[in-house]
Amino acid sequence: MPETTPLPDIRYPGRDRLIAAVDAALVHDDAHAVTAALRETMQALIRDPAVRLPPCVHAPVDGHYARRELYRSPQHGYSIVAMTWAPGQGTPLHDHDELWCVEGVWHGTLEIVQYECLGRDGARYRFRPASTVQAQTGSAGSLIPPHEYHIIRNADPAVVAVSLHIYQAPILRCALFDPQDGDWYLRRETIMQTDAFDPAD
């Protein structure tokens, strides 16, 4: 993926409305209450015709799903990232570096498989699939550590998917888990990177 670039000042219809709605959901002091409020907020924002993400987030990137950071809150510390998934693009099994996250499907459909960690042996971890969801446009879900292991994939053969992710803080690194034998996976760390884009596009 491309190297991380400085965050531009991104303006689009409904930007201030989106930020105000996210800020309002952060009045709670418990991660479960915060993410529950943000799930409702995300679903309302996706349905709100006054909020339209920048056109660039609908453009996929060859070779990997796109990550475009749209905002970092100077007051609350959270980060908003738009992701664009061409048909067939997805993630390996990964975590969120112990950060909570709320994810909403802005366009298209995403297949989300959550995994349960059964144990570890050094850098080797045992996982089993716990649930699979076909997340449609307008749906939102959350991940709270330690239940944060998952895979996301656009299984649609023809339609680009767009999702919006609100992270507790900018996610700078995460762990990826490479399949080994049976239900064993090998953990490795990776630096999270974002895709450069022109906010005017």
- The burial of 20, by beta-carbon neighbours within 10 Å (0-12 exposed, 13-18 middle, 19 or more buried), is given as exposed
pLDDT digits (tens, 9 = 90+) for 54-94: 999 999 999 999 999 999 999 999 999 999 999 999 999 99
Place of tokens 């510390």: 77
Give the global pTM. Answer: 0.92
Domains and CATH numbers, the chain: 15-191 (2.60.120.10)
What per-residue confidence (pLDDT) applies to 55? 92
Upstream peptide bond of 179 is cis (omega within 30 degrees of 0) = no
pLDDT digits (tens, 9 = 90+) for 7-46: 556 889 999 999 999 999 999 889 999 999 999 999 999 9
